[in-house]
């Protein structure tokens, strides 16, 4: 008697993945449209070693962003060098939250960089070739993040699985860049 292995179709595998891992994924992705109105809650947890601040907030419930929570996120992700902030693109926060949820960690992200003023970006660019002249950080569309409990490879794979923006892996500096720009990956 031969043992038969059940065949799993690509569609079945994707359905199982969507049902278990993608609840916190970005709202603009077609893959998550079926979750709207299904009791979806999105949460972001971060701390900043630069300011000593932390944030743990639910910013999206049942298809709606919570305005006051987004204001808190904007303030938290400000340019700590200048004290200036901008409206962070919620799609970036969605990617960050989705990747965090996929990694199944309770540890908050350590945020190294969120919004960057043009002055800060120019200063960093003068010190490093790895800083883009027209960085998405200056538009409030990017964040550089770290987790103690996950490797750069694990973090970048989770963010790339969202297929919703750019993911840069910076192993030497021990952080992952996540943004809501065009879908792409790179190593820095």
Find out whether 27 and 97 touch, Cβ atoms under 8 Å. Answer: no
C-alpha radius of gyration, the chain, whole number: 18
Q: Is 130 exposed, middle or buried (0-12, 13-18, 19+ CB in 10 A)?
A: middle
CA dist 94 and 22 (Å) reads 11
Domains of the chain, first to last: 23-187 (3.30.1380.10)
CA atoms within 13 A of residue 167's CA, in its CB half-sphere = 19
For residue range 76-130, what is the model confidence (pLDDT) as tens digits? 999 999 999 999 999 999 999 999 999 999 999 999 999 999 999 999 888 887 7
In angstroms, the CA 155 to CA 29 distance is 20
How confident is the model at residue 39, as a pLDDT?
Answer: 54
The dihedral built from the CA positions of residue 52, 42, 179 and 155, taken in this order, carries a sign that is positive
Which two three-digit tokens encode residue 113?
Answer: 């960089």
Listed as ranges, residues in the chain with pLDDT below 70 are 1-39
The helix or strand, by DSSP H or E, that contains position 93, with its residue range, turns out to be helix 90-103
Supply the pLDDT for residue 5. 43
Whole-angstrom distance, CA of residue 123 vs CA of residue 37: 44
- Residue-level pLDDT at 40: 84
Residue 14: per-residue pLDDT? 39
pLDDT score for 129: 78
Q: What pLDDT sits at residue 21?
A: 40
109 close to 55: Cβ distance less than 8 angstroms: no
């Amino acid at each position: 008697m031969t043992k038969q292995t059940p065949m799993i179709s690509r569609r079945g595998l994707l359905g199982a993945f969507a049902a278990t891992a993608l609840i916190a994924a970005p709202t603009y992705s077609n893959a998550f449209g079926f979750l709207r109105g299904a009791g979806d809650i999105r949460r972001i947890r971060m701390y900043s070693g630069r300011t000593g601040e932390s944030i743990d907030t639910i910013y999206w419930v049942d298809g709606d962003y919570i305005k006051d929570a987004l204001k808190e996120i904007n303030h938290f992700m400000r340019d700590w060098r200048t004290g200036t902030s901008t409206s962070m693109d919620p799609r970036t926060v969605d990617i960050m939250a989705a990747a965090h949820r996929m990694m199944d960690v309770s540890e908050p992200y350590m945020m190294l960089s969120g919004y960057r003023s043009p002055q800060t970006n120019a200063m960093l660019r003068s010190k490093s070739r790895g800083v883009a002249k027209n960085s998405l950080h200056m538009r409030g569309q990017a964040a550089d993040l770290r987790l103690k409990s996950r490797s750069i490879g694990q973090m970048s794979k989770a963010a790339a699985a969202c297929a919703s923006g750019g993911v840069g892996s910076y192993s030497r500096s021990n952080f992952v860049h996540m943004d809501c720009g065009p879908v792409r990956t790179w190593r820095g």
